[in-house]
Amino acid sequence: MPRLSLNFISDLTLGQKLQLGFLVVMFAIAGILAWRAMRPTRDMTVTSWVENRQFGADPAKPISAANPLDPQRSCVVTIFACHDGHLEISELPEDPEAKPAFRFIPDTFIKSYDFYGIDKTPTVHLRSISDPTRYAVALAAYNMTHFKSQNLGPSFIARAGLTIEQSKTERQLQRTMLQKIEQVQQEAKSGFYKTDLRDRAMTALMTYRTKDGDPTRDPSKAAVAWNVIDASMNFINAEFIEESQAIETYINGMMSLLTRDQKAKLAEAGKLAQEKANGRSGVASLKLAAAKPELDPTTGMPNVAYVRNALHKSITILTDAIRGNDDKQAVAAVTAVLTILNDTDLCTRYKPVFQSNIDGWLKDLIALKRNDLVEHLASAAIETFAGDDAFVAVCQDRRKLDPGKPGMVFATTQGGAATMRAVAPGGAGAIPGMRAGPATRPAAHTQHK
């Protein structure tokens, strides 16, 4: 077969060479145009307007005679709307000390963003997670941090059936995540977070306000509007990145903590939540995935959903297991209680019931000489009811009380300081089943976590 040679070009006439060159140029232009037509273009349409938002003395209620207008709370909101969503910059003109607040509200109905990015909201971020186990853990994390039903996060994680030690590790991971996010949000709210980025955004806003024109018709005005959006997003993204890193640390920690069987349990719930996510919020999906009341087929212990549906029956099951003089059942019962204590809403709603029974369970475990379980249960109860100094002091005392030691009850001085005093058996203020002891004892230490 003869080899192809370019020597034929030298044999062409000048006219033929010009025609060949013209064809090459035309093919090149056609290729460039085709490439540009296939490449997605950024929608640069932008508009802006200003809203005066007024609030009453109680901002959660509408303005009325009983809830009059509070000028200090009224704000001026400058809004920039573009393809990806709305940017809101809120200012309090009546409060010169207040710092501006920045918020971007993405359009969650679109499938792709021109500049906002795929991971900038919990809902959009969850869409990008394909692994059902990781999806379940991420959904739980976002319910602890961003969604309104924060108590659903721990309830969802509880479906994995964590051991006592795993529950302790999970609580630490959760606490670290929440503390970091709270720190970032408080700094942003107080105006001390990334002040250089915030100042750049406000400078761009001032420039926009001083320039005449309509951003929908004037390209130069639109360009200045985009300067405001870009500068504001740099500020918002800095906060988002730090919060996301805290959440990812929790997710990665949980993925390392879970066993293969536990991941399989969460994967089932994650698949259900993913299936329901289309057309439903993350909270609604989580409720569906975590709402099946059941008793553990091995231990017979109730899950959180079971407790919600049958509180007193659940208390009876847990009490019988702890008092049954069976170590395995006692461990299973305490593990179930630790899971229940993670549900803030449930524990707040039935606070007296739980506090009364926890105190009884602690005394039962002391009688069984299971000081390890006493420590786990008392520590978790202290963390759940940290704001109740009286109950915290009682739990602290149970942690130090071995069988045969004097019985102590909580008392309060005029100044409100927590102290402990001994009582005679059956005396006023005595706790049933406790022995008498010395007349005095140092003040109990109260933990606040």
pLDDT tens-digit map of 166-203: 889 998 999 999 999 888 888 877 777 888 898 999 99
Name residue 422's beta-bridge partners.
408
pLDDT tens-digit map of 213-257: 889 888 999 999 999 999 998 888 888 888 888 999 999 999 999
Q: How far apart are CA 277 and CA 288, in angstroms?
A: 10
Q: Which amino acid is at 53?
A: R
Q: In the sheet where 101-106 sits, what is the strand order?
A: 46-53, 75-82, 85-91, 101-106
pLDDT tens-digit map of 59-77: 777 888 888 888 877 889 9
% of the chain with per-residue pLDDT over 90: 12
Round the average pLDDT of the chain to a whole number and report it: 75
pLDDT tens-digit map of 294-351: 788 888 888 888 887 777 788 888 988 888 878 888 899 998 898 888 887 778 877 8
Q: What is the mean pLDDT of residues 91-114?
A: 78
pLDDT surpasses 60 at 393: yes
Task: Please report the pLDDT score of residue 299 as a whole number.
Answer: 83
How far from 416 is each of 393, 410, 413, CA to CA, in Å? 13, 12, 5
Element (H, E) at 411: strand 408-412
Please return the burial class of 358, using the count of CB atoms within 10 Å of its CB with bins 0-12, 13-18 and 19+.
Answer: buried
Name residue 419's beta-bridge partners.
411
pLDDT surpasses 90 at 428: no
Q: How far apart are CA 82 and CA 87, in angstroms?
A: 8
Q: How far apart are CA 414 and CA 214, in angstroms?
A: 67
Task: Please report the pLDDT score of residue 427 as a whole number.
Answer: 36
pLDDT surpasses 80 at 417: no
